[in-house]
Amino acid sequence: MKDFISIHDLSIPEVKKILDLAADLKKNPIQNWLHGKSLALIFEKPSTRTRVSFEAGMFQLGGTTIHLSPNAVQLGVRESIADVARTLSRYVEGVMLRTFDHNDLLEFAKFATVPVINGLSDLLHPCQALADVFTIKEKKGLKNIKVAYIGDGNNVCHSLMFACAKVGLNLTIATPKGFEPQAKIVKPAFEDAQQTGVEIDILNDPVMAASGADVIYTDVWASMGQEKEVKSRKSKFKSFQINQQLVKLAKPDYIFMHCLPAHRGLEVTDEVIDSKNSAVFDQAENRLHVQKAILAMLLGGK
């Protein structure tokens, strides 16, 4: 594993190793495995959980981080992506990039000689998805579990498809028509699912998706960069809101998940996200442990 760009690129044993190492690090958080090593953090999109979890994680592993804002780097504007990648590779042991265009991430990784971590792109959010399946494993286990993702077929949905396929979780996706996950993700995700015997269903019916679910997951209806679509999406996604009426169709002990930040009153109601079934803050915490495992494997040779 040279880079961490997509869960699809990982073998099933590599995914298992990350999750097992994350569990160990959750129990024993302070290690000195990355002493003297640095991780550059490039943010073209703002972040709370991604920045804090990576900075805290590197510190707990004995390393340090260098935060680079959009104005400081200006990838492809002030300097070519290739030149930034080559330069930073001379200074640090790894780079985390949170960006818009997934192709920029691929280009950066192509020219970097140190490991590159996908902190989020418009296409994929692999750190989040591995934290998600880690949380499901903690709360429910991984056998005979139905995960229902209800909302936009976005980057989180894409990576969740890959993650569920790798660990053996059945996944039902329900989106409004026209908002399904992209075909270029669906095809390889289905191929991964065939290897593990996982069922991935893509529907346009939130009721069918929620029925009998062990896990109900949603995300914002309009992601960063889609602000102009907020008004139109509100009407199209109205029936996909996670509310008390919908979650009653799930199993009584279902867990609710959201990658945060949540738009309360839109994709989810307060009574659901604040209920005893909600695992959103455990899910957010687990970003730290899973990313530490990724860092240890990429930068420390674990």
35 lies in a domain? yes
Q: What is the pLDDT of residue 75?
A: 82
Same domain, 62 and 148: no
How far is the C-alpha of 35 from the C-alpha of 31, rounded, in Å? 9
2 lies in a domain? no
Same domain, 144 and 271: yes
Q: What percent of the chain has a predicted confidence (pLDDT) above 90?
A: 91
Name residue 278's amino acid.
Answer: S
For residue 50, what is the domain's CATH number?
3.40.50.1370
1 lies in a domain? no
37 touches 299 (CB < 8 A): yes
- Give me the long-range contacts of 272-281 (CB less than 8 A, separation at least 24): 272/242, 272/243, 272/244, 272/247, 277/247, 277/253, 279/135, 279/139, 279/255, 280/256
- What mean pLDDT do residues 154-174 have? 98
How far is the C-alpha of 216 from the C-alpha of 98, rounded, in Å? 26
Average pLDDT, the chain: 96
Q: What is the pLDDT of residue 245?
A: 98
Same domain, 101 and 26: yes
Same domain, 168 and 244: yes
97 touches 116 (CB < 8 A): yes
Same domain, 254 and 155: yes
Same domain, 218 and 134: yes
105 lies in a domain? yes
Q: Which residues are catalytic?
A: 98, 125, 128, 219, 259, 287
* pLDDT tens profile 189-202: 999 999 999 999 99
Same domain, 147 and 49: no
Same domain, 76 and 189: no
- What mean pLDDT do residues 128-146 have? 98
Same domain, 188 and 205: yes
Domain extent at residue 49: 7-124+284-299
Same domain, 137 and 272: yes
Q: How confident is the model at residue 225 (pLDDT cuts 50, 70, 90)?
A: low
**Candidate from 51-60, 134-143, 225-234 with smallest mean pLDDT:** 225-234
Same domain, 97 and 153: no
Same domain, 293 and 270: no
Q: Does the pLDDT of residue 69 top 90, yes or no?
A: no
Q: How confident is the model at residue 145 (pLDDT cuts 50, 70, 90)?
A: very high
59 lies in a domain? yes
Q: How confident is the model at residue 48 (pLDDT cuts 50, 70, 90)?
A: very high
How many domains, the chain?
A: 2
- What mean pLDDT do residues 71-79 have? 81
